[in-house]
Homo-oligomer: A and B are copies of this chain.
């Protein structure tokens, strides 16, 4: 075929790249003591399997959404575009690498081992060469991933079942016993799997939630309506690929799915409390002057909304439920209870945070603690 490409090349190069609008809105979140919180989507696709975008797009999207890291994990065995694209399984990663470097996104090499159920689909990430994993038996592919230093996890466990409920087959025992299942997606794309959540708790699997995005991100989640992809918050010792890997190997994650943060109680509670700054009530009126308003002013410094319910019975009376909106200070109207002590002292307020999920059907219960001065 003739090609007359030469003429236009230089003139186009600039426009090509600058046609992306690269505006990064950081996702604010607290670091836990000793760890840096990193936002990571560990399951994405490109045109190099059945995805709909050129690999760089995954980097641009990650930049704009404020993510720290992504993995490109194209299907190993499913290649519907192979009529047009002559794939080497490492191509997508290699193409996206330049953009990732220029924009400061941590890009993780990965692959999705894509088999019928059982065992279904597994991701292997932090690997060196996907070509070597193109084997007849999935256990061989997993072993190869492991040999390359990979981290492996079970994807969308309820998918491939008509009712969406995951089943743990004997094949999964084998995989688990051989160390090929270090994590599990408790949520993927538009689905949360309570049973997978339960298994993660019981078997101490790293909890994950990923986008599994095939389309451009905007065709899968509508930011105008407040929608966002699911992703993991990884508590790493350092901001690097190695840091993320070490954290995943040791189960230090919580996940963000729809309006919920899901994870171990210890992480969620710290994450929540470190998101808040409470202004002390310095001049709280006594019971008799109830008519004077007092407000408990709570700043949520994080990029996550928290839905809280107040419990009755403490020294302060509050009402119902409240959303602590992200990056916002909320003034909660409070009234001193009859039994409130006079003087300057600590007040503890019991709350439920209904969108922080510590186990299936169980939300975080914790306390807000702050100083108040109660005068006659």
Contacts and interface: CB of A to CB of B under 8 A. Distances in A.
B215 A333 contact: no
B47 A104 contact: no
Interface stretch (A33-41, A221-229, A247-255, A364-372): A221-229
Contact of A77 (B3, B134, B164): B3
A227 to B, nearest CB: 9
B214 A217 contact: no
Interface residues on A, range: 35 or more
B99 A222 contact: no
A345 interface: no
- The number of times this chain is found in the oligomer is 4
A76 B2 CA distance: 11
Interface string A324-338: 010111111101000
B77 A19 contact: no
Interface in A186-243: 189-191, 213-226
A165 to B, nearest CB: 13
Given A52-B53, A60-B215, A218-B216, A77 B295 contact: no
Interface of A: 1-26, 47, 50-54, 56-57, 60-61, 63-64, 75-82, 84-87, 91, 95, 98-99, 102-104, 114-117, 121, 131, 134-136, 159-160, 162, 164, 189-191, 213-226, 279, 290-295, 297, 312, 319-321, 325, 327-333, 335
Given A23-B328, A223-B223, 8 more contacts: A7-B114, A8-B78, A19-B215, A26-B329, A52-B53, A164-B320, A190-B320, A218-B223
Q: Which 7 A-B pairs have the closest CB atoms?
A: A218-B218, A216-B216, A22-B331, A24-B329, A18-B333, A52-B54, A4-B77
21 contacts: A4-B134, A4-B136, A11-B160, A13-B291, A17-B293, A19-B189, A22-B295, A22-B331, A22-B333, A25-B327, A53-B57, A61-B216, A84-B86, A98-B293, A102-B293, A102-B294, A104-B279, A190-B321, A216-B216, A216-B218, A218-B218
